[in-house]
Homo-oligomer: A and B are copies of this chain.
């Protein structure tokens, strides 16, 4: 007998990127930071004692939220800490989307959004991006017409790395009738010369939630720690009503706090990634790939038409050489590979393999 709900029976789950057990693999498939976390994190790890493990953690990660509040110049009660950014994505849906009501997304974007929508039994209001990954001018109107209660914009965009400007986000936030979640999982890698900062949106609009994560920018994907910033009303509802009772653990709270407290340490990795992003992009273009301008820690590379086997063949050929990149078997992406920016050595090995394979 089947006990699952009809919408669950119909849906397909999320497929995470491969996580090989053994060593010796060059892993450019899940956008992990190629550099280790800050020494401050490793020192914080040494301070964990048995009592911190034996007792329940702070239910709302207050010390971390205070550190994040100081960094972003907002009050701590406008921040919610979550078990990875992914938990915040689920939580906004649980809290603000009635089953049966649509969720707005752009196509393509993060492949987890449709999965989370399906779990809530919420249909999608999908709006196609233009070929250069820019958003249609009437995006908010299209979502409104569909009756979307919540919408996701990932910025920088995944999987292209395109950065949308704050003025554009403002227009959308003002025009959209539901909750607008701006998923900034990769925002730490944006070139600082661009002066990208969306924090003011959470002050000007009561319907905006920014998602941040420690996974990429702070080299802590293994820790599962993210946070949301929004108006007091949105954050309070999730904090006091819909979040799990103790969503983040005591060690993660301590380590995430240490990480966010060491901005220079993290910023060093961002700068290194940006340098390698430029080199990787330039060399891929030289090899004949089309590469959209990325402000993230990955690039989306369109395979030259002459390559036999296309993107999927190239993905498999790289895999047989122990180099993992990400291939998406989905509309508009089948001729592309998403390649995380690795360490200089990893990127060099990738480029060498590509030269030999093409």
Is A33 engaged at the interface, CB distance under 8 Å to the other chain?
yes
- The answer to whether A59 and B244 have CB atoms under 8 Å apart is no
Q: Contact mask A239-262 → B, CB, 8 Å, 1/0?
A: 011101111111110010000000
- How many interface residues does chain A have, given as a range? 35 or more
With a cutoff of 8 Å between Cβ atoms, the chain B residues found around residue A6 in the complex are 98
Enumerate A31-89 residues with CB–CB distance to B below 8 Å: 32-33, 35-37, 41-42, 45, 48, 50-59, 83-84, 86-87
The quantity of this chain's copies bound in the complex is 2
- The answer to whether B90 and A222 have CB atoms under 8 Å apart is no
Is A178 engaged at the interface, CB distance under 8 Å to the other chain?
yes
Q: A222-B55, A244-B90 are in contact. Are A95 and B2 (CB under 8 A)?
A: no
Question: What is the distance, in angstroms, from A355's C-beta to the closest C-beta of chain B?
Answer: 27
| Least CB separation from A33: chain B residue | B54
Is A263 engaged at the interface, CB distance under 8 Å to the other chain?
no
- Determine which of B8, B223, B245 lies in contact with A95 in the assembled complex, contact meaning CB atoms within 8 Å: B8
Please tell me which stretch of A10-18, A138-146, A153-161 contacts chain B, meaning at least 4 of its Cβ atoms lie within 8 angstroms of it.
A10-18
- The answer to whether A86 and B244 have CB atoms under 8 Å apart is yes
Q: Contact mask A89-103 → B, CB, 8 Å, 1/0?
A: 010001111110000
- The answer to whether A237 and B4 have CB atoms under 8 Å apart is yes
With a cutoff of 8 Å between Cβ atoms, the chain B residues found around residue A130 in the complex are none
Question: What is the distance, in angstroms, from A184's C-beta to the closest C-beta of chain B?
Answer: 18
Q: A119-B94, A207-B1, A244-B83 are in contact. Are A37 and B56 (CB under 8 A)?
A: no
Q: A50-B36, A99-B99 are in contact. Are A57 and B241 (CB under 8 A)?
A: no
With a cutoff of 8 Å between Cβ atoms, the chain B residues found around residue A84 in the complex are 244-246
Since A53-B222, A83-B83, A86-B245 are in contact, a sample of 19 more A-B pairs with Cβ atoms closer than 8 Å, ordered by chain A residue number, is A1-B207, A4-B241, A5-B97, A6-B98, A13-B241, A13-B242, A30-B56, A32-B54, A37-B50, A41-B50, A45-B45, A53-B223, A54-B221, A55-B222, A112-B245, A221-B246, A222-B250, A223-B249, A224-B249
A52 to B179, CA, bound (A): 35
With a cutoff of 8 Å between Cβ atoms, the chain B residues found around residue A185 in the complex are none
- The answer to whether A223 and B250 have CB atoms under 8 Å apart is yes
With a cutoff of 8 Å between Cβ atoms, the chain B residues found around residue A35 in the complex are 54
- The answer to whether B50 and A42 have CB atoms under 8 Å apart is yes
A27 to B179, CA, bound (A): 40
